[in-house]
């Protein structure tokens, strides 16, 4: 079975500061990992994904995440927050033999000017 | 269209009524998913289609919920005898075949049962 834990339902950072959103997963088989962003009243948009290969993956809008198997983590980072980054962020896991995506409960990011 | 399209965007219905929610996936995507998202929660899996068949319907909460995809493209989620607890945003997503592919989401249908 797969599951995702996102520590911190709300994160606030100052504009220009580092963004760190945490995601830990549980999976009995090698997972595929995803980060999605959701702006108010919109659907989910893919930020980045890890399937195989390089464990540091880069996504859109300057975000990146690193797959750490030993820590079962896939934390999302961005060096410098922008006001437009304010949104809800969801981490998701999918088994490499699976169908459905399992989502975390989300982290709401607030950027303070 | 360029993305996943869901209609209607908003639906208000009375308790006990029947509703249908429509999803038009990205052309060529064989996989289609329905999720439900309650306020402050992550998306909750309902059902997954591969082509015309429901490959995994383990997330449907009870027999009031049913979904079809008769021609392997458009899908309809059907809810009978709606209850106030069914109020949520219903998200549809589609993807290419393969578990390493990402899902593309529509903007959702906000269902309110009064």
Task: Work out the average pLDDT over A7-34.
Answer: 93
Nearest CB to B107; choose among A4, A43, A101 = A43
Element (H, E) at B50: strand B44-50
| Per-residue pLDDT at A43 | 86
Put simply, the answer to whether B55 touches A45 (Cβ < 8 Å) is: no
Neighbour-count burial of B67, counting CB atoms closer than 10 A to its CB (0-12 exposed, 13-18 middle, 19+ buried): buried
Question: Above pLDDT 70, what percent of chain B?
Answer: 99
Per-residue confidence band for A28, with pLDDT thresholds at 50, 70 and 90: confident
Put simply, the answer to whether B33 touches A42 (Cβ < 8 Å) is: no
Instruction: Indicate the length of chain A as a whole number.
Output: 113
- CB A26 within 8 Å of CB A42: no
- CB A17 within 8 Å of CB A82: no
| Per-residue pLDDT at A29 | 78
Nearest CB to A100; choose among B4, B33, B107 = B33
Per-residue confidence band for A100, with pLDDT thresholds at 50, 70 and 90: confident
Put simply, the answer to whether A101 touches B40 (Cβ < 8 Å) is: no
Task: Work out the average pLDDT over A5-26.
Answer: 96
- CB A93 within 8 Å of CB A29: no
The greatest distance separating any two alpha carbons of chain B, rounded to the nearest whole angstrom, comes to 40
Per-residue confidence band for B11, with pLDDT thresholds at 50, 70 and 90: very high
Task: Work out the average pLDDT over B77-102.
Answer: 94
Which of A94-108, B17-31, B98-112 is predicted with the least confidence, judged by mean pLDDT? A94-108
Arithmetic mean of pLDDT over chain A: 93
A-contacting residues in B 60-99 (Cβ below 8 Å): 91, 93, 99
> Which residues in B lie closer than 8 A to residue A102 (C-beta atoms)?
45
Residue A96 in tokens: 């490499």
Task: Give start and end residues of each alpha helix (H) in B1-114.
Answer: none
- At residue A31, the 3 state secondary structure works out as strand
Task: Work out the average pLDDT over A78-91.
Answer: 97
Over its C-alpha atoms, chain B yields an Rg (Å, rounded) of 13
């Amino acid at each position: 079975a797969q599951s995702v834990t996102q520590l911190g339902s709300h994160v606030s950072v100052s504009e220009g500061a580092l963004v760190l959103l945490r995601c830990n997963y549980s999976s009995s088989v090698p997972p595929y990992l995803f980060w999605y962003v959701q702006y108010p009243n919109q659907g989910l948009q893919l930020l980045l994904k890890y399937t195989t290969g390089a464990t540091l993956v880069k996504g859109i809008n300057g975000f990146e995440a690193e797959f750490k198997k030993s820590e079962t983590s896939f934390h999302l980072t961005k060096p410098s927050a922008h006001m437009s980054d304010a949104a809800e962020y969801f981490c998701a896991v999918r088994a490499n033999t699976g169908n459905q995506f399992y989502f975390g409960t989300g982290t709401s990011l607030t950027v303070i000017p | 269209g360029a993305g996943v399209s869901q209609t209607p965007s908003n639906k208000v219905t009375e308790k006990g009524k029947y509703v249908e929610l429509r999803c038009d996936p990205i052309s060529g995507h064989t996989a289609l998913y329905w999720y439900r998202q309650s306020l402050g929660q992550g998306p909750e899996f309902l059902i997954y289609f591969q082509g015309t068949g429901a490959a995994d319907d383990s997330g449907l909460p009870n027999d009031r919920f049913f979904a079809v995809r008769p021609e392997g493209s458009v899908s309809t989620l059907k809810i009978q005898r709606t209850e106030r607890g069914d109020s949520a945003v219903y998200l549809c997503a589609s993807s290419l075949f393969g578990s390493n592919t990402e899902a593309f989401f529509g903007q959702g249908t906000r269902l309110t049962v009064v």
